[in-house]
Amino acid sequence: MPVHRSGSGTTRRSRLAAAGSLLAALALLLALPGAAGAADVPQRGTARMGQGVIAHDGQQGGSPTGPAAVQTEGVDVSGHQGNVAWQTLWNSGVKWAYVKATEGTYYKNTYFTQQYNGSYNVGMIRGTYHFATPDTTSGAAQANYFVDNGGGWSRDGRTLPGVLDIEWNPYGAQCYGKTQAAMVSWIRDFTNTYRARTGRDPVIYTATSWWKDCTGNNASFGATNPLWVARYNTTVGELPAGWGFYTMWQYTSSGPTVGDHNHFNGALDRVQALANG
């Protein structure tokens, strides 16, 4: 009588099919964004203003709309832009600029001189910003590092107060591993130290959604620190608690010549007033 082996053949085919499915699933997983894990984390020092806005808040195209009040165009730049065509920006109507000076206590913008002096030389009112990393060192340490490496202020009518850029963490946990209370304390440490060193309250750059998540929508800075809000949309939308209006609005990361374009909430004389303190 012949021996039937159909059962064992079916089992073998099932195992092969299962193995093939497993390999296909693994290939799909490796192709997914973020599958590389740590390899996707950017190099320290490369963070730039608004880096996380599109990923977290999205971007809506079109020209900004809103109150009929005069707005003055400005840009912000970092080492990401390299040497900037300042004359081109000036000719297009850009009248003020902020340049990244530092990050944490470990990075200084290698294009700082070209960007900071270049904007000034074409006639712009300019200032500098610090990209905060609250998980690396204290607020006071970072404020001092900022002031010591380009973040100071002088009453020359052309220098804006420094900016604390506090937003999504490109290197890890969104709120840098801090509780909301600890984050508020860190920001207070930075702003108090900056004021003690320069005599000016720094501008705070943030996005409303991040501020809500990571500070609990703390309202205690609005009376002292000008607000620079990030929202890539046709309207500025909701502001963080404590601020009844914005001083600056970063409305796009895809503007002409330099991607990050901003509105100052007022005519050029108001930009000058902020510079003069």
Tens digits of residue pLDDT in 198-244:
999 999 999 999 999 999 999 999 999 999 999 999 899 999 999 99
In a domain, 27, yes or no: no
Backbone angles phi, psi at 232, to 5 degrees: -90, 85
Number of domains in the chain: 1
Which pLDDT score is estimated for 36? 36
Q: Is residue 59 part of a domain?
A: yes
Cα–Cα distance measured from residue 141 to residue 114, given in angstroms and rounded to the nearest whole number: 26
Domain-embedded: residue 64: yes
Instruction: Say if residue 7's pLDDT is above 50.
Output: no
User: Where residue 123 sits, what CATH number does that domain have?
Assistant: 3.20.20.80
Confidence grade of residue 26 (pLDDT, cut at 50, 70, 90):
very low
Q: Decide if 28 is inside a domain.
A: no
pLDDT at 259 over 50: yes
β pairing state of 227-230 and 248-252? parallel
pLDDT at 33 > cutoff 80 = no
The residues annotated as belonging to the active site are 76, 165, 167
pLDDT band at 43 (very low <50, low <70, confident <90, very high): confident
| Coil, strand or helix at 139 | helix
Does some domain include residue 31? no
**Cα distances (angstroms) measured from residue 226 to each of 26, 81, 90, 139, 238:** 50, 26, 24, 18, 16
Higher pLDDT, 66 or 42: 42
Residue 104 in domain: yes
Q: Which of 119, 121, 124 is nearest to 83 (CA)?
A: 119
Structure tokens at 86: 């300042």
pLDDT in tens, 137-179: 999 999 999 999 999 999 999 999 999 999 999 999 999 999 9
State which residues form the domain around 92.
53-276
pLDDT over threshold 50, residue 46 = yes
Q: Is residue 29 predicted with pLDDT exceeding 50?
A: no
- 21 versus 265: which is more confidently predicted? 265
Would the CA dihedral through 114, 117, 123, 129 be positive or negative?
A: positive
Q: Which of 4-8, 48-52, 60-64, 74-78 has the highest mean pLDDT?
A: 74-78
pLDDT value of position 44: 84
Average pLDDT over residues 17-44: 51
Residues with Cβ within 8 Å of 115's Cβ and at least 6 positions away in sequence, in order, are 77, 81, 83, 84, 97, 99, 109
The pLDDT, as a whole number, for residue 242 is: 98
pLDDT at 45 (0 to 100): 74
Please determine, for residue 9, whether its predicted confidence score (pLDDT) is greater than 60.
no
* pLDDT tens-place string over residues 68-117: 579 999 999 999 999 999 999 999 999 999 999 999 999 999 999 999 99
Looking at the predicted structure, is the pLDDT value of residue 10 above 70? no
- Is there a domain that residue 230 lies in? yes
Is 138 part of a structural domain of the chain?
yes
Instruction: Place 41 in a pLDDT band, splitting at 50, 70 and 90.
Output: confident
State the pLDDT at residue 42: 79
